Structures are given as structure tokens and as C-alpha cells.
Amino acid sequence: MRKKIINCSLIIGLLLSVPFAHAADLYVQSVRAPIFLEPTLGSKRLTESVKGELLKEMDKKGDWYQVDYKGVNGWISRLLVSTKPPLGKVSILEETEEMLEKGARKRASAFATAAAARGLAEERARISDKYKVDYEGVEWMEALKIADEEASQFLQEGMEK
């Protein structure tokens, strides 16, 4: 009888220890995250990891993690990584367009949500007359769309000059 219980305990213990094996995983949060030779921004930049990539934490020093990235051993700023995978872009504006691709069933509710969020917000604004508001300006600003890749390329070009 005791043997049975001990066996069960072992199995549970094993089950629990499986996920523990990769507990020190870090996900890159920024689109790009440079990896340095030493835990300081002034040191040599070894390589750049990209958003969502998994890094193995090896050591920690102040605001820096020592990581192993594709065989390169270096330091990455704590600000650019997290133990959770990064979120996708969140927007109250483009959501409806995204949802259109995901099928009709979701569309209606998503559209309603986004529209409601906007409508509600603007309705709220009317409650206040303390400050002048310019929603057209905000929309003008939102209308200008630049993809991350374009901005990334623009930056690259500048740095290579």
C-alpha cells in the first residue's frame, strides 16, 4: 500500500519538475534588443536579438541579464526582456480591420467593441468643457500609418550612412 502511494508521489513530483527545467527563460520584448559583451551600454555590441525570441538566463547583474543567444554569450538590458512572451499590437482603431480577416463571426462583436470604445470616449468628452478638444487633429495623426519594417529600414539606412 505504501509503495503505491510512494510511486504516485514520485510521478506527481516528476510531472511538477518537468516545466521547472526551463524556468529561467526570457523573451525579447522590444522589436530589437542588442546583446553586449559586458553588462554596460558602452561595451561592444555583439549581436541583436529580435522580438519574441527566447533567451536563456545565465546570470544577473544590476539591470542586466547574461544570456546565451544562438551560441553568443552576452549581456542584455533588463528593460528589453521579460519572462512572458511579448503581446501583439493592441489598438482600438485597427482592431476592426484585423478582425475582418479572422472571420465574420467575430467581426460583429469586435466592431461593436471598438466603435463603442470610441463613441463612448467622445461622448464622455462632452461632459467636460474645461479644456478645448480637437479630435480631428487626433484622427489626422492616426491616419498617418508607417509600418515597423519601414521605420526599421529607415533607421538602418541612417546608421549605415
Partner 1 sequence: MKNSRESGVSGQWSVVSGFLFLLLVTVHFFPFTDFAASEDFRKRKSQLKESFTANEDIRAEIVFGRELSARILGRYKLYDDKKLTRYINLVGKGIAQYAGRTEIEFRFAVLDTDIINAFAAPGGYIFITKGALKIMEDEAELSAVLAHEIAHVTERHIVKELNIKGTDDSPAAGLARILGGGTETMRVVFTQMVDKAVEILFEKGLKRQDELNSDRMATITTANAGYDPVALKRYLKKISNNEEKTEILTGTHPSFGERIDNLDSFLEKNQLSDKKQPFLKERFVENVKIK
Partner 2 sequence: MLKLNSGRQSVVSGQMPLLTSYSLLLVIFMLITHHSSLITEVFADEYHYNNIIIGDRASGMGGAYTAISDDASGCYYNPAGLIFASGRSLSASANVYNYFKKTYKDVLGGKGWERVSSNLLPNYFGIIQPLGQGIIGFSYAVPDSRLENQKQTFYNFPGIDPTTKLPLTITKYVINMNDTDYSYNFGPSYALKIRDNLSIGTTLYLHYRGRELISNHFLAVDDGRYEWRNVYDSLTEWGLKPMIGMIWNPLDKVSLGLTVSQNYVFNTDKRIQITYRGLDYGITNPAYEVWESTDGRKLPLTLTLGGAYFLSESLLFSADVSYYTDSNYTVTYKNTSTGATASGSIPQERTLNIAIGTEYYLNERVAMRGGFFTSMANTPKLFSGKTDQPEHIDMYGITFSISQFTRSSSLSLGGSYSLGTGEAQPYTGSTAIKGVEMQNLTAFISAAFTY
Residue showing cell 541583436: 48
- The entry of partner 2, partner 1, none that residue 138 binds, CB within 5 to 8 Å by partner kind: partner 1
- CA–CA dist 66, 145 (Å, integer): 36
Nearest Cα to Cα of residue 69 among 95, 33, 99, 98: 33
Number of residues that bind partner 1 (CB under 8 A): 55
For residues 14 to 43, the per-residue mask of contacts with partner 1, x marking binding by CB under 8 A and - elsewhere, is: ---------------xxxxxx-----xxxx
Out of 20, 89, 101, 105, which residue is the one contacting partner 1 (CB under 8 A)?
89
User: Could you give the CA distance from residue 154 to residue 160 in angstroms, rounded to a whole number?
Assistant: 10
With CB cut-offs between 5 and 8 Å by kind, which of partner 2, partner 1, none does residue 73 bind?
none
List strands edge to edge, sheet with 64-69. Answer: 45-50, 32-36, 72-77, 64-69, 54-61, 25-28, 81-82
- Grid cell locating 5: 502511494
Tell me: does residue 132 bind partner 1 (CB under 8 A).
yes
What's the CA angle centered on 138, arms 132 and 139, to 5 degrees? 130
The residues that touch partner 2, with contacts defined as CB under 8 A, are 1-2, 4-5, 8-9, 12-13, 15-16, 19-20, 23, 83-84
Q: Which is nearer to partner 1, 16 or 90 (CB)?
A: 90
List the interface residues with partner 1, window 90-129 (CB under 8 A): 90-92, 94, 117-118, 120-121, 123-125, 127-128
Distance between CA 86 and CA 136 in Å, rounded? 32
Point out which residues bind partner 1 (CB under 8 A).
Answer: 29-34, 40-43, 51, 77, 79-80, 82, 84, 86-92, 94, 117-118, 120-121, 123-125, 127-128, 130-135, 137-138, 140-142, 144, 146, 148, 150-152, 154-155, 158-159, 161
